[in-house]
Structure 1
Amino acid sequence: MKRIIMSGLVLTACAFSANAEQWKTLGTRPMGMGGAFVAIAQGPIAQYWNPAGLAISSSKTVSGLEIPVTAGIEMTGDIMKNASEIGDMASQLSAVQSAQETGAAITPAQAADFVKTMSLLSAMNDEGKGAMVELAGGANFKFSKVAISVNNFTTVGLNPYIDTTNLNLGIGGTDLGLTFTDVSIPAGYNTAVTNLTAALNQLDNGTPNAISNLLCSGGTCGGLITSNADLAAALAHYATSPDQLTQVANVISQYSNTAAPVVTGALSGGNYTNNTSNLTLDAGSFTEIAFGYGKFMKFLDGLSLGGNVKMINGRMASSTFQFMQNSDTGDAFKNMLEDSKSSWAPAVDFGALWDVNKKYPKMPLNPKVGLVIRNINSPKFDRPEAVGGTYKLDRQARLGFSLQPARFWNLALDLDVTKNKTAVDGFDSRQLAFGTEINIVNKKYFNIPLRGGLMKNIAEKSSKMAYTLGTGVNLLYMHFDVAAAVSSDRTTLDDKKIPTRATVSASFGLLF
């Protein structure tokens, strides 16, 4: 039962919705350094991170070909925690459903878990709760100060929608009174029953005796339960002590604000056959063909400016899947791909990079400062006819700082200047990234780099720190690197602890 509930909730959470884009971490070297690369901007992927870095001609910035591939997933707003908590109570929910079917009784603990589940179902629709799947990759060429690249950035947003109104099992209620001759209050339980009655009344939400009517609809429960007070007294007969009944009252009271609308909605709504919970599959895939150039400026020593001129193909896809009415998810994916819409739009990037030592040679640690603005003109793309309208790729700005304490050691810090929308409704992104790189051998013909970093979304309080690691082998002109990022936050899925965010990246390069 738990596995079925967990699978259903995860599927429900995967309602695909494409909105704006957060900053993508392209390349293994930046990934290993926590996503900080704007003020380093070396090699072919400098065109993406800061085209001003293309102007630098030295052994530190190589020409050649680099092919990066990155894939990641992030679960936001504690969505898996909600799903896991509901799954953990699957046995209690099974007992409630079984009682409805057989006319048996439920315990006070099961009644409390029923209310808590109603609250958790409501919370699944909160803004910022969902997940993102992101893919990035391509081919990047650099020769001297000129770069050409073809990169794809695909984002799939996962937004849950659960219909909390049409939840009626259609069975006719739970019979609590098969062994009762009345609903009298057991000796010593007066205060506990009063507390439980008050807690049950908090679920009314304008509908008197909502929870008792929901559980004992149609005059069932032996025909004895006609009010919340009756239900509280009946439950007292199944409590092990007055303290347990009071604890149940406290749990119900704790979740009453969010559970009440669900309880009253379920009371007045239809059954599962009318449930409109759905998966809206909506994805965006953007392929950039970019031409970049960087040049040093004469008015300030060490300052270089660069830019990209791009043509972007945006392919938008959308489909809605009523999963309560249709179990074949394959049709939804098939329809999404068949109904996709492709369009082209131009875009422009701008970057600036200042090597401070060129102006102030005595400045220690070789500091650099960089700024990049992507998609300055905020290009728009057509969406499928079934959805209508356009999709705007919002402008992004990112600031970077770097230090080089030694020839083999780099430090970098990046910060998103813009607060970027993401593919999860109500979840914003503003990344703070810090990383370091130590080159063990640091020879042109052979090197083993070690990289580590931290990244944090400072736009969302619920987002936790993520840790990154990376390494590779540089042999003559061939470079092979890998990197990964994992969140410090963990959630539970089917009794297993998993990170809320995980990303892997690999790249191959022929660099000279």
Structure 2
Amino acid sequence: MKKSILTLAFIVSCACSAGAEQWQILGTRPMGMGGAFVAVAQGPMAQYWNPGGLAMAFSDTVSGVELPITAGVEITGDVMKNASAIGDMASKFTEINAAQKNGSATNASQISAFVKTITLLDDMNDSGKGAMFEVAGGSNFKLSKVAVSVNNFTTIGLNPFVDVNNIGLGAVTVTGTTSGGITMSGVTATSTTDSGYNSARDTIATAITKLGGLSAISNLICGTSTGITVQNSDITNETTLANALVNQAITNNLSVAQVTDAANQLNTYATDAKPIIENAVAGNSYTNNQSNLTVDMVSFVEIAFGYGKFMKFLDGLSIGGNLKMINGNIGHDKFKFMQQSDTEDAFKTDMDTKSSWAPAIDLGFLWNVNKKYPKLPMNPKVGFVIRNINSPKFDQPDSVGGTYKLNRQARLGFALQPAKFWNLALDIDATKNKTAVNGFDSQQLAFGTEINIINRKYFNIPLRAGICKNMAEESSKMAYTLGTGVNACYMHFDVAGAISSDSTTMDDKEIHTKVLVSAVLGILW
């Protein structure tokens, strides 16, 4: 259970810091075209993508209503591979915790799991590791050059924090009383009579040397470099300690194969774990470890009123804007997974939330270049939009304090129409946007195309395809998008999806690091 819930937590969550919002894709037509729509900006969705498009007159999308819904997951920094591996160690956490609290001995398998886990946990502190889950949707209405919409944009996320100081396996202090602590007292430190375990014993001894030798393990368990020898005078070097760990594993009914696997795992992670163990504060108990998954939520409901108008000083240029009232609901919670016995507790606790309102302004420009230069081919258009110009602020929960600043975003777009049934679009974020994963930024480059197969006002089947790339992160790979729909008698239903070319590992399975899906039901006239 702990393994599966840990995995789920990483999929659906990631921690949000102030201003941690990337540009969300709202609508199937933009998503199908790779996320490029700023210079297309038609119909009710123009209010979100570029309110300058509200002034543009398109024979088949002058007015209407559209109900979009979009959901997506993005996993960054290969964090799922770490989370899945840590989930595999969940049962060992319980065994180690019980041994420490009860003052009993540990074995080769438990020590191996512990060393592997602290190595993976330390790796999870690297910048840019996390996951995002985003949902956007609402109702968008346009009548002539005026638009009204109510949309929700929600991000749930998680950032791991790893405490690599409190990793000692010694005595536990609770309410001023010290008790327990793993002890090797009474454990046989000579070779077992079953020679099948000897190879594993030698591998464990080698790994102990890599970890810093007997004194390092003694510091980890006892808080002093000679503590293990004081507990058990027969343990005097790496080999006798390895014997003791193997003998305790046999006492716990572990087979030769199981001990061998544990020995190999311990040896694999020993070198990386050595500096972690050396830097840890001696005597600080693992049961006091503060490692946690910080789960945060930001949910913004935007009530927007938009208007677009053509400008006389430049033929073909329209400018539009939105006046918005935004309700920001900010939530925060932490789950200390090294202390709490069941990871389900992360979902049982009540999230600390706070709601507040703030005004905001959007401004968009759309230039139909052919109005000024009619001889240019393919009907070029250029668009530029700035969302949340005033960077509104919202109250954060009492457990966090301060305010959450919703930073402004800017996006530039270009569009061509090689034929009446064929559109091309290109967008790029003009701002580098922070995301819900600390240290992971977003600056999307999007390109897409749309071909209308039948292209009649009363009936049409559009086909859309596109690509997008996060230019802010070198490790980010290309994502591919597809979309289609049916338009009949002014009504339309469209679907679209996006999937990354990159993958990560979860439960020994390869999964895509980014997946988005979208659907829209609308009436246009």
Classify the TM-score, shorter chain. 0.7 to 0.9
Residue pair 2:30, 2:37 contacting (<8 A) in 1 also: yes
Structure 1 residues 251-262: aligned runs within 5 Å: 251-252=268-269, 255-256=272-273, 259-262=274-277
Report the counterpart of residue 209 of structure 1 in structure 2.
215
Give me the whole-angstrom Cα distance separating, in 1, the residues matched to 2:378 and 2:440: 37
Residue 298 of structure 1: how far off its partner (Å)? 2.0
Report the counterpart of residue 322 of structure 2 in structure 1.
308
Residue 127 of structure 1: how far off its partner (Å)? 2.4
> Which 10-residue stretch deviates more, 30-39 or 154-163?
154-163
Residue pair 1:166, 1:265 contacting (<8 A) in 2 also: yes
Q: Is 2:138 the partner of 1:138? A: yes
Q: Is 2:424 the partner of 1:411? A: yes
Structure 1 residues 90-489: aligned runs within 5 Å: 106=108, 115-168=115-168, 170-173=181-184, 177-179=189-191, 199-201=210-212, 209-211=215-217, 213-214=219-220, 218-219=228-229, 223-226=233-236, 251-252=268-269, 255-256=272-273, 259-262=274-277, 265=280, 268-272=283-287, 274-323=288-337, 324-325=339-340, 327=342, 335-336=350-351, 339-489=352-502
1:36-90 residue CA offsets vs partner (Å, 9 max, x unmatched):
1001001101010001111111225431101101111111111101123445678
Residue 154 of structure 1: how far off its partner (Å)? 1.1
Residue pair 2:460, 2:486 contacting (<8 A) in 1 also: yes
Give me the whole-angstrom Cα distance separating, in 2, the residues matched to 1:342 and 1:212: 50
Residue 315 of structure 1: how far off its partner (Å)? 1.6
Give me the whole-angstrom Cα distance separating, in 2, the residues matched to 1:268 and 1:350: 58
**Secondary structure at 2:475 match in 1:** coil
**Secondary structure at 1:394 match in 2:** coil
Q: Is 2:55 the partner of 1:55? A: yes
- Alignment CA distance shift 1:113-1:276 (3 Å): closer
Tell me the C-alpha RMSD between the 2 structures. 4.0
Give the partner amino acid of 2:229: G
Residue 396 of structure 1: how far off its partner (Å)? 0.3
- Alignment CA distance shift 1:163-1:30 (3 Å): same
Where does the alignment leave 5 or more consecutive residues of structure 2 unmatched? 170-180, 247-255
- Alignment CA distance shift 1:403-1:123 (3 Å): same
Residue 230 of structure 1: how far off its partner (Å)? 7.0
- Alignment CA distance shift 1:263-1:112 (3 Å): farther
Give the partner amino acid of 2:190: L
Report the counterpart of residue 65 of structure 1 in structure 2.
65
* Identity %, equivalent residues: 59
Residue 226 of structure 1: how far off its partner (Å)? 4.2
Give me the whole-angstrom Cα distance separating, in 1, the residues matched to 2:384 and 2:319: 10
Give the partner amino acid of 1:219: T
- Alignment CA distance shift 1:10-1:171 (3 Å): farther
> Which 10-residue stretch deviates more, 131-140 or 58-67?
58-67
Residue pair 2:67, 2:520 contacting (<8 A) in 1 also: yes
Residue 253 of structure 1: how far off its partner (Å)? 6.8
Structure 1 residues 12-23: aligned runs within 5 Å: 14=13, 16-19=15-18, 20-23=20-23
> Which 10-residue stretch deviates more, 80-89 or 327-336?
327-336
Give me the whole-angstrom Cα distance separating, in 1, the residues matched to 2:10 and 2:457: 51
Give me the whole-angstrom Cα distance separating, in 1, the residues matched to 2:267 and 2:344: 40
Residue 277 of structure 1: how far off its partner (Å)? 3.1
Residue 389 of structure 1: how far off its partner (Å)? 1.1
Give the partner amino acid of 1:255: D
- Alignment CA distance shift 1:15-1:49 (3 Å): closer
- Alignment CA distance shift 1:94-1:159 (3 Å): closer
Give me the whole-angstrom Cα distance separating, in 1, the residues matched to 2:153 and 2:10: 25
Report the counterpart of residue 77 of structure 1 in structure 2.
77
1:135-167 residue CA offsets vs partner (Å, 9 max, x unmatched):
111111111111111111111121112333444
Residue pair 2:32, 2:483 contacting (<8 A) in 1 also: yes
**Secondary structure at 1:58 match in 2:** coil
Residue pair 2:379, 2:418 contacting (<8 A) in 1 also: yes
Give the partner amino acid of 2:512: P
Residue 317 of structure 1: how far off its partner (Å)? 2.2
- Alignment CA distance shift 1:81-1:127 (3 Å): same
- Alignment CA distance shift 1:28-1:225 (3 Å): same
- Alignment CA distance shift 1:26-1:262 (3 Å): farther
Residue pair 2:113, 2:266 contacting (<8 A) in 1 also: no
Where does the alignment leave 5 or more consecutive residues of structure 1 unmatched? none
TM-score, length of structure 1 as denominator length = 0.82
Residue 370 of structure 1: how far off its partner (Å)? 0.9
**Secondary structure at 1:377 match in 2:** coil
Residue 385 of structure 1: how far off its partner (Å)? 2.8
Give the length in aligned residue pairs. 489
**Secondary structure at 2:275 match in 1:** helix
Give me the whole-angstrom Cα distance separating, in 1, the residues matched to 2:353 and 2:207: 54
Residue 292 of structure 1: how far off its partner (Å)? 1.1
